[in-house]
Amino acid sequence: MTRELFEIAGVSSVLYGQPSDQVYLFIHGKGGCKEEAEAFADIACPAGYQVLAIDLPAHGARKKLLGTFDPWTVVPELREIMAYAQQRWRTVSLRANSIGAYFAMLAFPDLHKALLVSPILDMERLICDMMEWAGVSKEQLQKQGEIPTAFGETLSWRYLTYVWEHPIHEWHCPIHILYAEQDNMTSRKTVDAFVRRSGASLTVVKDSEHWFHTPEQLEVLNRWTQEWV
């Protein structure tokens, strides 16, 4: 499988596969990198697609560069990437992980198809849950601006107000979701509500958590990808 490393508007990128008029844009989650797309490309490229993956700010090849991993930084970048993709390919589909799916739903009005793995579908609910876990009220957060937590996340009033002011897009393309039964980032109630609104297909993986990483979980992920790509 061919692989080309390059930059799009200063964003470290990689393109997998032979020339095609169809592409999947792969967006990793927190702690990920563009090279995670290779396993997906192993399935998508033989099916006739190319796969374009990028490093989000403060990740992968951009880990030591300036840039913050927040929607007001990521979303404008993703819009530039999409503009590039739409000029180069006839159809643009999405494969996104976790918070990468949330960023995509903020950035992209519609797509050809979307494959979402452990997507964060309600950021306001997640932030409020984390505030509850940390024992932080909205009044405290508004007053202090940012509050570090014992579980490694920093609560941010700016982030919460951004979420209120920027609703996600309602997509009308086919959407397929792979969801872990024990996902502590997105509740089953939240994912079921999203499925009802969007008409998405939902595959629930038993005895799994938010991050798919064991050999058994990765095998399920590969089978799901082969079914819907």
Residue 23 is predicted with a pLDDT of 98
Domain CATH code at residue 16: 3.40.50.1820
Tally of domains in the chain: 1
CA distance 73 to 221: 29
Confidence of residue 65 (pLDDT cuts 50, 70, 90): confident
8 A C-beta contact, residue 210 and residue 28: no
For residue 135, being part of any structural domain is answered with: no
Q: Which of 51, 43, 53 is nearest to 17 (CA)?
A: 51
For residue 127, being part of any structural domain is answered with: no
pLDDT tens-digit map of 164-192: 999 999 999 999 999 999 999 999 999 99
Residue 125 is predicted with a pLDDT of 96
Residue 64 is predicted with a pLDDT of 86
- Write down the mean pLDDT value for the chain: 96
On whether the pTM is more than 0.85, the answer is yes
Find the domain containing 65 and state its range.
Answer: 3-121+174-228
For residue 148, being part of any structural domain is answered with: no
For residue 150, being part of any structural domain is answered with: no
For residue 105, being part of any structural domain is answered with: yes
Contacts of residue 112, Cβ cutoff 8 Å, sequence gap at least 6: 22, 91, 92, 93, 173
- Residue 225 token pair: 């990808």
8 A C-beta contact, residue 127 and residue 147: no
For residue 199, being part of any structural domain is answered with: yes
For residue 143, being part of any structural domain is answered with: no
pLDDT tens-digit map of 129-168: 999 999 999 999 999 999 999 998 999 999 999 999 999 9
Q: Using CB atoms within 10 A of its CB, is residue 15 exposed (0-12), middle (13-18) or buried (19+)? A: buried
Average pLDDT for residues 107-122, to the nearest whole number? 97
CA distance 210 to 184: 7
For residue 179, being part of any structural domain is answered with: yes
Residue 67 is predicted with a pLDDT of 78
Average pLDDT for residues 197-213, to the nearest whole number? 94
Residue 177 is predicted with a pLDDT of 98
8 A C-beta contact, residue 118 and residue 100: no
Identify the three-state secondary structure at position 59: coil
